[in-house]
Amino acid sequence: MAVLTEEIRNRIRAEFPNYPNKRAVTLPALHMVHEAFRAVSPDAMREIAELLELHPSEVADTMSFYGFFRTPDRPMGRQRVWVCRSLSCMLRGGEELLAGLCDRLHMHVGQTTPDGQVTLEFAECLGACEQAPCVLVNDECHGNQTEESVLEQIKKK
C-alpha cells in the first residue's frame, strides 16, 4: 500500500521542470513528505526514489545528511522550536533560555512533548545575531526572546 498520497506525488512531479534533473528534486521531495507526515518513513523514501528514478539508498543518504528530518520512531511535533546557540545568542542568554524551556516543557533537547505538540531543538545559527537570543518557531524567527515569550509564541500557533 502506498504511503504517499496522490497529492504529494503530484506536488513532487510539479517540481521536475524547476530543476535540471529528477535527482535534484530529492531535497524538496523530502521536505514535502516531512511536512505532511512530520517524519519520513523508509516506505516513503522508497516511493520518493521510485518517482525520482533513484535507488532508495540515494534518498536515504540525502535524508541522513540533514539533521532536520525526523523518522517515524522520532516524529516531529506539531510545532518545531529551534533555539539558537551561536556565540551571540549564548552571550545574551541563549543557553539559559534553552535550559529553561527544557525545564518548563519537561523535556530534553531533541525530544517531542508526550502530547506531540512541541519538538525542541537547537540551531547553530539563525542569522539574526542583532536580536539575540533568537528562536525559530516553525518558520518564524523571533528575536530578543525569553522563556515566557517563546511559550507565548507556542500558544499562538
CATH number for the segment(s) 79-156? 3.40.30.10
Residues of the chain with CATH 1.10.10: 6-65
Instruction: Report H helices in 16-143.
Output: 26-37, 42-52, 56-65, 87-91, 94-105
Tens digit of each residue's pLDDT (9 = 90 or more) over 91-149: 999 999 999 999 999 999 999 999 999 999 999 899 999 999 999 998 899 999 999 99
* CATH class of the domain whose range is 6-65: mainly alpha
Query: Average of pLDDT values for 71-80?
Result: 90
Q: Name the band, by pLDDT with cuts 50, 70 and 90, for residue 156.
A: confident
Q: Name the band, by pLDDT with cuts 50, 70 and 90, for residue 25.
A: very high
Burial class (CB in 10 A: 0-12, 13-18, 19+), 129: middle
Mean pLDDT of the chain: 94
Q: Is the pTM of this model over 0.85?
A: no
Residues of the chain with CATH 3.40.30.10: 79-156
Helix (H, G, I), strand (E, B) or coil at 115: coil
Q: For the sheet containing 135-137, what is the strand order?
A: 118-123, 79-84, 135-137, 140-142
Tens digit of each residue's pLDDT (9 = 90 or more) over 112-122: 999 999 999 99
